[in-house]
Structure 1
Amino acid sequence: MPYWETLTDRSLWLQLGILVTVTLATYLLLSIALRVVSRQLEQRDKGTQSRVFYFASELLRSTSKLLIFAFALMIGLKTVELAPRWESAMSHGWFIALAFQIALWLDHAVKLWTDSLTRDGKARNPVTTTLLGIIMRIVIWTMMLLSILANLGVDITAMIASLGVGGIAIALAVQTLLSDMFASMSIGIDKPFEIGDFVVFGEVAGTIEHIGLKTTRIRALSGEQIVIANADLLSQIVHNYKRMNTRRIVFTFGISYHTPADQVREVGAQIKRIIDSTEKTKFDRAHFFAFNESQLTFEVVHIVQTADYNQYMDIQQEINLQLLQALRDMEVEFAFPIRRVEFIGGDLPEVKVAGMPDKAASANTPPYGGVS
């Protein structure tokens, strides 16, 4: 009875006992060691500003218990006598378990990294971080699978070639979607604008509300939501007013030609005094700029020290009001358009006024060569 002899074989039971004992002991030791090291790293993380110890602690916590048991089992198998074919299988088993564990650690590291991007309170493109995380995980698990197949003796050259051809075919089929996806990734990495920024491009002016995988949504000043593809948006010149620290303001006004030269000179000094006394703006220059058709034109430049449009308008209004009062105090008149028509030669037409006799109307007619 061969089965009975097998069951009563003391050497077999001895080796089995050794295998179980070594496996369990190794499993317990590895689990305790990982727990202790993880706690030590966590304690060090509390005393430093660096997140390196935190990441290392979390990676050790994410170690698979099943793979720990597989390592313990293979260590136990080393203590017993095995056939040569089992020795070869064990070498592959070591590599497969190690490859799986490394892939799990890297996958968890990518998750921790993407989560950490939102912990500092900064507004980021969530689609970009998610997309980067997915791409990195696909690369990690693909490399793990190919390395395991190569270790088992499978020829992966043809597989890689077929994956490349398939990838090209898929890329050609969804090239529009891919262009918008990569544009979204470019927006997230380069950060030309973020959620909450006020942007202007083409005829569109509004606030960024959402940056998606394919489109970006903008709330226009008139209230409607504008949806534009990410690739189309990046192909245009975008003005981001949220990141404007100062505004260079240029405005002009005109005074009457009857103003004396010394008062014209004094107007420039009054403008400088007004702007210097106004908060959140800096005087740059004020010049008697040009002789225009019906006015002496002044050009004024000042630098508003805020990006807020409403504050800029408040500042400009205050400057205008003070300038109006200053010119009135100086008895300097603002210019206004004047048109003078001169009639030369011929007879003026008769003017008839309703309710008046023709002679009276003729008496009121201007003399020859007059001005009307």
Structure 2
Amino acid sequence: MWERFVNFTVFQNSIGDYIASLVTLVLGLIAIQLTDRVILRRLKRWANKTTNPWDDSLVEIIERSVLPLAYVGLIYISLQNLKLYSILDRVIDSFGIILLTLLGIRGINSLIEYLLKIYWLTREEYAARQTSLNILLPSIRVFFWALGIIFLLDNLGFDIAAVVAGLGIGGAAVALASRGVLEDLFSYFAILFDRPFEIGDLITVEGFTGTVENIGIKTTRLRSIGGEQLVFSNTNLTNSRLQNFRSMERRRALFKFQVSYNTPEEQLHTIPQIVKAIIDDMPGAIFDRSHFAAYGEFGLIFETVYYVEGNEYLRYMDIQQQINLLIKTKLQEKGVEFALRPREL
């Protein structure tokens, strides 16, 4: 009796096939619900207890992308146990492929965005990197959506070879016509990933010094010390040697001064000691050396090297100014005269 009932055929499928499909669907729904209520809710409670926003984002990605993908996959698998009419089978296959592709692309985009934010935004200079990331993410989304659409059309039975060939020819023509723009675009991505400098850094390029104000897709803008805006193409920046002062822990300073040839030898011996005492008493300055270095055209040349803690140019100039004033005062007290260029009559 039971065997006859199970083998009874309705719409090309036995009752047993319907039962197997239904059992697969119910067990799958139970497994997904248990995952949602037990594992996912525990992850939510754990994420709410932490101050890190990235674990909340990861739970959200699982909830928005993985669970819908699991539901669609479950329905698609449960229907595979049944023999359907060819038209209905093609409709279900097409519908399933479309849903799986759309959900998969959305999940991939969300995961890549999450990984990029963890890699970039958990470090310092959050605002500057957030701006760069906001510019980069749309390009990544467009790229993966384009790949997903090509994958979808191919699985739906469309001949995409001609489309890809057409895109290749058109892309080559566009690339030739806009070679400079594309070079700057790829250089922009190189700057974003390699990070030779960031917004707010003080850099020197080809003899020009300025603070980075904006990193655009084609150009990067600097504000020079004089106040004017300097504009460089991204290709020019990636192909040039540049100095970045952001990571400089201390600045090396070298200065020279000349004293008169009439200065007695005993005082010449004391001048390096005077300079050393001045720098040692200067907060933020570290003495390195001071020597009678050379004979100049108009006087005896003393050369001094010291270091300034930090990379602030204004602080360095303030310290240098104080050192210059104190050297002038101390040498005047000792009766030492600075060398002067003779006047021509």
Aligned position for 2:110: 108
Aligned position for 1:246: 250
Aligned position for 1:159: 163
Aligned position for 2:178: 174
| 3-state SS, counterpart of residue 84 of structure 2 | coil
Cα distance, 1:286 vs structure 2: 1.4
Cα distance, 1:133 vs structure 2: 2.5
Select the structure that is richer in helix. 2
How has the CA–CA distance of structure 1 residues 76 and 302 changed in structure 2, closer, same or farther, with 3 Å as cutoff? closer
The amino acid across from 2:163 in the alignment is M
Cα distance, 1:177 vs structure 2: 1.9
The amino acid across from 1:307 in the alignment is N
The amino acid across from 1:313 in the alignment is M
How has the CA–CA distance of structure 1 residues 53 and 256 changed in structure 2, closer, same or farther, with 3 Å as cutoff? closer
| 3-state SS, counterpart of residue 297 of structure 1 | strand
| 3-state SS, counterpart of residue 259 of structure 1 | coil
Extract unaligned runs of 5+ from structure 1: 1-9, 342-372
| 3-state SS, counterpart of residue 60 of structure 2 | helix
| 3-state SS, counterpart of residue 338 of structure 2 | coil
| 3-state SS, counterpart of residue 196 of structure 1 | coil
1:122 paired to 2:125: yes
TM-score by length of 1: 0.73
Conserved 8 A contact 1:26-1:72:
no
Output one character per residue of 1:25-82: Cα deviation in whole Å (capped at 9) or x when no partner: 5786466345323223334446789988655422221138876664454355356553
1:282 paired to 2:286: yes
| 3-state SS, counterpart of residue 271 of structure 1 | helix
Count of matched residue pairs: 333
Aligned position for 2:264: 260
Aligned position for 2:42: 40
Aligned position for 1:362: none
The amino acid across from 1:35 in the alignment is D
| 3-state SS, counterpart of residue 310 of structure 2 | coil
Cα distance, 1:178 vs structure 2: 1.6
How has the CA–CA distance of structure 1 residues 270 and 148 changed in structure 2, closer, same or farther, with 3 Å as cutoff? same
Cα distance, 1:89 vs structure 2: 6.1
How has the CA–CA distance of structure 1 residues 202 and 215 changed in structure 2, closer, same or farther, with 3 Å as cutoff? same
The amino acid across from 1:74 in the alignment is Y
How has the CA–CA distance of structure 1 residues 125 and 179 changed in structure 2, closer, same or farther, with 3 Å as cutoff? farther
Cα distance, 1:175 vs structure 2: 1.9
| 3-state SS, counterpart of residue 152 of structure 2 | helix
Output one character per residue of 1:167-223: Cα deviation in whole Å (capped at 9) or x when no partner: 212222222222222222122112222111222334643322111222222223333
Aligned position for 1:196: 200
Cα distance, 1:263 vs structure 2: 1.7
How has the CA–CA distance of structure 1 residues 262 and 150 changed in structure 2, closer, same or farther, with 3 Å as cutoff? same
Larger CA Rg, structure 1 vs 2:
1
CA–CA distance in structure 2, aligned partners of residues 99 and 186 of structure 1: 30
Aligned position for 1:141: 145
Output one character per residue of 1:105-158: Cα deviation in whole Å (capped at 9) or x when no partner: 102213334455446552445564245433433343333333334434444444
Extract unaligned runs of 5+ from structure 2: 1-8
Output one character per residue of 1:231-271: Cα deviation in whole Å (capped at 9) or x when no partner: 23334333323333222222122222222212211212222
The amino acid across from 1:61 in the alignment is E
Cα distance, 1:94 vs structure 2: 4.9
How has the CA–CA distance of structure 1 residues 98 and 257 changed in structure 2, closer, same or farther, with 3 Å as cutoff? same
TM-score by length of 2: 0.78
Aligned position for 1:334: 338
CA–CA distance in structure 1, aligned partners of residues 217 and 100 of structure 2: 35
| 3-state SS, counterpart of residue 159 of structure 1 | helix
CA–CA distance in structure 2, aligned partners of residues 43 and 300 of structure 1: 62
